[in-house]
Chain A
Amino acid sequence: MRETDMTLQFELENQEEGTALLRVTGDITIHTSPRLREQLKPLLSAQMKEVQVALDGVNFMDSSGIATLVEGLQWGRLTGGRFVLSGLRDNVRDIFSLAKLDMVFEIVDSTV
């Protein structure tokens, strides 16, 4: 049985000018999602053209995590930037699918 991960780890890669890739590892819960928001918020600026959040290392995400990602979606809608989620594991993809959020987020299989 998998143990609950109470910490989140981040790795930020600035691929080229105006694009960023944020790799997240750990469980995203009401307790840890404020840290995701802290990491994501500075990336959601007018200077950015594309922000990708790689979730390969995330096995559990609750609504607080999804709500944080919705802020990215809103940023994309307001600025015309591209907000992409990648590498969703089955558990996380299942939750997006149940809530039909897979139809509003741009989701790709692996980092692009």
Chain B
Amino acid sequence: MASPCVQDVTFSECENSHAGKLCLQLNCNSDCVHILRSMVAVMTVRADMDELQGNRVAIAVDEVYANIAAHAYEGSPGRVEFETEIICHDGKNRELVFNFRDYAAVRWTGSLEGVTTEVPDVETLCPGGIGLKLICSVADYCEHEILDDGNRWQIGFVI
């Protein structure tokens, strides 16, 4: 059984505000996905998203997290900082943003450029790569940056 995975939860700024930010540090294990899902549920409600939209956001967040767990930390526990907020641009346009920061020795070297959302070829469809396809299908944008001591991911949804 994995050890408790939540290391720190911070409710910063105005937690009663729609512009509030939620932050979390996890000891990355696959059984922590439900914790992220709770935070996603809070933020998608704050963003006035319906259940279907909320489910899409949850999928994208799950997939980024799973990518870090499986490929950056390669199944071993490791530190992940997770932060989510609703950003208001010029008082009108809003974005729901999720940031992930890991400190893995393995840098993710995949590419988001070649990920297509075309109909998969049944002859060549394989289990790998479906997560990235889902992220790119549901998020308005997804960015990945290799850092000196890990990786940073950001996904965003226009509200």
> Interface of A with B (CB < 8 Å)?
1, 4, 6, 29-31, 60, 62-64, 66-68, 70-71, 73-74, 77, 90-91, 94-95, 98-101, 103-104
Contact = CB atoms under 8 A, between A and B. Distances in A.
Contact of B119 (A60, A63, A74, A104): A104
Contacts of B56: 94-95, 98
Contacts of B41: 1
- Interface of B: prevailing SS: helix
Interface in B1-58: 30-31, 33-34, 37-38, 41, 45, 51-52, 55-56, 58
Contact of A100 (B66, B120, B128, B138): B120
Contacts of A94: 52, 55-56
Nearest to B2: A31
B105 to A, nearest CB: 21
A64 B66 contact: yes
Contacts, number: 94
B134 A60 contact: no
Contact of A98 (B33, B131, B138): B138
Nearest to B62: A62
Contact of A90 (B52, B63, B69, B120): B52
